[in-house]
Amino acid sequence: MYYLLGLVGHPVAHSLSPLMHKAALAAHQLEGEYRLLDFTAAELAACVKKLPSQQFVGFNVTVPHKLAVLPLLNQLTVEAEQLRAINTVKILPDGTMVGHNTDLAGFMAALTQAWTVGTETRRAAIAGAGGAARAAVLALARLGWKEIVLISRRLEAAEALVCELLPLLSATGAPTIISVCANCSTASDSYDLLVNCTPVGLYDTAIPPWLADLLGKVRWDGLFFDMVYRHGNTTPLVQLARARSLPAADGITMLAHQAALAFQFWTGKSVGVEIMLDALGL
């Protein structure tokens, strides 16, 4: 079988995915390739619908299409239903396209690797109120964090996110979730874990004062986890955290775990995250 895979997004030229999936294919001695598929919003629907007839067996989805691709798919996995965003699609032999999301499991794996102590009575803060924050809340709940504070300057978006997530969390003994903005007094407490789910540091080095202040509220024995990553360099927030002697991790390990999970979803074959990281020279 020939595994024709790809990445749908705009732009995609900077992507590290081809390096990782080429290594995964080689590790299992599978024939295939991983192509970059740069589709604009106007091109998305028509181009995605053609992928089954072009013999693709799967593809990743990145910004800005993680939401827009939803109505183009035939089926969704439980993870995709919960996160309401797609980053992985499998194409079945009959052309059926199954949407999936590896953000949740990828973050859980990366955080578990970075956080080595218990979560009992621990308090986590999440900066942001978008799709990444949604995955972070669900992941922390599954990992047993008892209190999660959602911090966003977009208070309405944060409150809406909490309302959407409560039904998903209630069946499993949901932690306390507090929705606040960056300037609220409730954001002045200390945290054991801070997860950055904003795009700060993705395109520039400027750190908003409110986020720098929030970073300063993480306990000395806690952890800062930045979902943003920069290949070959640390993110500005990770640099700031480490300058303050605070343990910190960026999103590159999460990216590798996501890639390994996507590869297994497409091929049914597991691949160690070390293979993905080695392909990135890490």
22 is a catalytic site residue: no
- Smallest CA-to-CA distance from 194 within 256, 253, 240 is with 240
Report the C-alpha gap between 212 and 216 in whole angstroms.
6
- Tokens of residue 70, six digits: 């939803």
Backbone angles phi, psi at 21, to 5 degrees: -75, -30
Q: What are the E-state strand segments in 152-273?
A: 176-180, 191-196, 218-226, 248-249
Report the C-alpha gap between 199 and 218 in whole angstroms.
20
Report the C-alpha gap between 27 and 199 in whole angstroms.
33
**Helix, strand or coil for residue 203?**
coil
Backbone angles phi, psi at 116, to 5 degrees: -110, 5
Report the C-alpha gap between 149 and 106 in whole angstroms.
21
Backbone angles phi, psi at 208, to 5 degrees: -60, 140
Rg (CA), the chain: 19
Please answer whether residues 125 and 191 qualify as being in contact, where contact means their C-beta atoms are separated by less than 8 angstroms: yes
| Other Cβ atoms within 10 Å of 47 Cβ, number | 16
Of the candidates 22, 50, 66, 146, the residue annotated as catalytic is 66
Write out the H or E segment, with its range, that includes residue 148.
Answer: strand 147-151
What are 194's strand-pairing partners? 125, 224
| Residues annotated as part of the active site | 66
